[in-house]
Amino acid sequence: MKIIILAFCCCTILVSCQNNTAPTTKTNLILPVAQAVPLNVSLNMGQANYQLGQPITLRLVLKNNTSEMVTFCKLNSPANDLHWSNCFEIKDGKGENIPFIGQTATYKGPIEEKDLISIEGGGTRLYTIDIRPMYALNQVGTYKVRFLGDQINLLPNSLPARFSIK
């Protein structure tokens, strides 16, 4: 009986030592203000339908959403004069990736001053490219293409654009 009373007393003491009072100060969580992405990347297809074997042209549109000049790296993007980078994701109607068949997949060397392009505040740059020689687009069907930014060009991904090959 003494052991039960001793155990009860110990439990009572342990429970009474806990602090069950609510905190007296509120915690304020400060959220950062939402900011516009400096460059908006969008794709526009030259047309909605293409014939098999015909060039498949798309336009990459870069829009500066700020009032100040924005600089980006042209490598691994259609802004590069050499259109050999794998900067697009193309999927067929089943959601399967279309393979890149171009010469070089991505640029991985050092970035130099000549690789940088600036867009004035509120300005737009437009780049037109034929994606057919770079991707295995040799089947009739419906496709979705989107630009993928990377750690070299630091551009955001675009929303997908749709086109069909008849």
For each of the chain's 166 residues, which pLDDT tens digit applies?
A: 445 554 544 444 444 444 455 545 554 545 444 445 689 999 999 899 999 999 999 999 999 999 999 999 998 889 987 666 789 999 999 999 999 998 765 666 788 898 899 999 999 999 999 999 999 999 999 999 999 998 888 899 999 999 999 9
Number of folded domains that form the chain:
1
Q: Is the pTM of this model over 0.75?
A: no
Query: In this structure, is residue 141 part of a structural domain?
Result: yes
The per-residue pLDDT for range 96-138, each reduced to its tens digit, is: 999 999 876 566 678 889 889 999 999 999 999 999 999 999 9
**How many Cβ atoms are within 10 Å of 92's Cβ, its own excluded?**
15
Query: In this structure, is residue 114 part of a structural domain?
Result: yes
Distance CA 43, CA 161 (A): 6
pLDDT recorded at residue 144: 98
Q: What CATH number is given to the structural domain containing 83? A: 2.60.40.2970
Query: In this structure, is residue 123 part of a structural domain?
Result: yes
pLDDT recorded at residue 107: 64
pLDDT recorded at residue 14: 44
Distance CA 62, CA 87 (A): 15
pLDDT recorded at residue 25: 52
3-state secondary structure of 14: helix
| Beta carbons of 81 and 75 less than 8 angstroms apart | no
3-state secondary structure of 11: helix
pLDDT recorded at residue 45: 95
- Maximal CA-CA distance, the chain: 95
Query: In this structure, is residue 20 part of a structural domain?
Result: no
pLDDT recorded at residue 38: 86
pLDDT recorded at residue 31: 45
Amino acid at site 130: D
| Beta carbons of 69 and 120 less than 8 angstroms apart | yes
Nearest 10 degrees: CA dihedral of 109, 110, 113, 118?
70
Query: In this structure, is residue 105 part of a structural domain?
Result: yes
pLDDT recorded at residue 33: 45
Distance CA 136, CA 52 (A): 11
Query: In this structure, is residue 8 part of a structural domain?
Result: no
Q: Which residue range(s) make up the domain with 148? A: 39-165
Query: In this structure, is residue 24 part of a structural domain?
Result: no
φ/ψ of residue 145, rounded to 5: -125, 140
Please work out, in degrees rounded to the nearest 5, the angle formed at the alpha carbon of residue 145 by the alpha carbons of 139 and 150.
130
